[in-house]
Amino acid sequence: MSRLIILLGPVAATLGGVAIGYAWEYLLVSALVETLSEDEDEAKDDADDKTSKKKKDKAKAAKAKPGAKPKPSFGKGKKGPSASEQFAELTDNFNEAVDLFKERVHAPGSVAPRLIVGLLVLFTCAKYWGEFYEYSMQFAERSSQPQIMFKARLQNGQEIILDDYREAYHWLRDHTPDDARVMAWWDYGYQIAGIAKRTSIADGNTWNHEHIATLGRILTAPESEAHSLAKHLADYVLVWAGGGGDDLAKSPHLARIGNSVYPGHCNDPTCSQFGFHADRSPTPMMADSLLFKLCMAGQMSVRVNETFFQHVYTSKYGKVRIFKIKGVSRKSKEWIADPANRVCDAPGSWYCTGQYPPALKKFIGSRRDFKQLEDFNVKRDAHSRQYHEEYMRRMGGQGRGGE
């Protein structure tokens, strides 16, 4: 949204200024001029009428002269008009319509209503100008602030500059090897690559849904299972914690996305068993997940198995946590680093399908093609059709089978 505002803001402001200028000219300026010079306009109109009458008389006389060209007939057996003649006729008709419109909108009877509407609009703008200016300044300030560093207020009312995210990325840059790979949800991929200067598993330009689902499947899997998969893909795991739209708030979506490609990850398409109860306690599936343990480590008696994931960094206000993956597969890392194993430009596709280390062959082989669910150009099989229907029912508030 911020990008759209930046790109379209100047265009919208320019077009809005043109519209306001025309409205100002029509409702107030020209109406006032027409009111003050009404007598002069009437005299001018009379002169114009006389001139127009003379022209019409001359035109009639010219038509009556012998030898004058007859009006072309386009009936049966007659030659039709050329393209230039048709264009000229259309242009004349358009100009006549414009002149008629101008005559109507500037009719003497429209002066008073225009003045009244213009004054009302002017009064309304003057009344709310202060509020609009204040809101615009606040919006501009919010939009111009960096997305990873902003003002916040502690529970005691103290105002602070929250710089956890930038500091976490700088820590990655300064305390990890240059070839380190960071597993995190795709939202932060650009920041990891641009600020931390490290390889991210996915980012905002990852159009391969199956790969995003693989990432979601690993993060929402039980800790030991997640480790057995993550050690073949990354060296560190980064999570956003501390509330306020953190990874736990997004985690049900991660589970659903993972389930859309990996059958059996959840018991139903909406992953209703992955979340929180009414008392805010986690469901069993949530409590066992890697994401929950990394975000909540040290709270609610939650602990991370240090033989799988070693805690190496927590930001000042707990918004970012980084864990080192223990026992990273050196064989898989070397396989990924080999350019010969990077398969892109798949036939008939404009995005990179990629390849995964041989150690993940069985896991990757268990996923199904998501386009059967989202692409209307692809014929769905019975399972995909049933999955989609069940998902839509449950998201619509109905139970299984429409109950």
Q: What is the pLDDT of residues 183-228, one digit of tens each?
A: 999 999 999 999 999 999 999 888 888 899 999 999 999 999 999 9
pLDDT(68) > 70: no
pLDDT(81) > 80: no
DSSP-based three-state secondary structure for 313 = strand
Find the DSSP H helices in 65-188: 83-105, 111-144, 164-175
- pLDDT level of residue 402 (50, 70, 90 thresholds): very low
40 strand-pairing partners: none
Q: What is the DSSP string of 327-376?
A: T--HHHHHHHH-GGG---S-TT-SS------GGGHHHHHT---THHHH-T
* pTM across the whole model: 0.65
Give the chain's mean pLDDT. Answer: 82
pLDDT at 327: 97
162 strand-pairing partners: 150
**Dihedral sign of CA atoms 40, 46, 51, 56 in order:** positive
Listed by start position, the domains of the chain span: 1-33+110-144, 165-329
pLDDT(148) > 50: yes
pLDDT(372) > 60: no
Cα(312)–Cα(125) distance, integer angstroms: 56
pLDDT(371) > 80: no
Residue predicted with more confidence, 26 or 187:
187
170 strand-pairing partners: none
Percent residues over pLDDT 90 in the chain = 39
From residue 90, how far is each of 74, 80, 82 by CA, in Å?
16, 15, 12
**Could you read off the pLDDT of 302-355 as tens digits, one per residue?**
999 999 999 999 999 999 999 999 999 999 999 999 888 877 765 555 566 678
pLDDT(140) > 80: no
Lowest mean per-residue pLDDT among 92-106, 177-191, 365-379:
365-379
pLDDT at 214: 95
pLDDT at 292: 96
CATH number, span 165-329: 3.40.50.12610
Strands 181-183 and 236-240: parallel
Residue predicted with more confidence, 172 or 338:
172
DSSP state of 318: S
**Could you read off the pLDDT of 34-43 as tens digits, one per residue?**
777 765 555 5
Q: Which of 340, 166, 315 is nearest to 242 (CA)?
A: 315
The residue-averaged pLDDT of 48-67 equals: 59
- pLDDT level of residue 169 (50, 70, 90 thresholds): very high
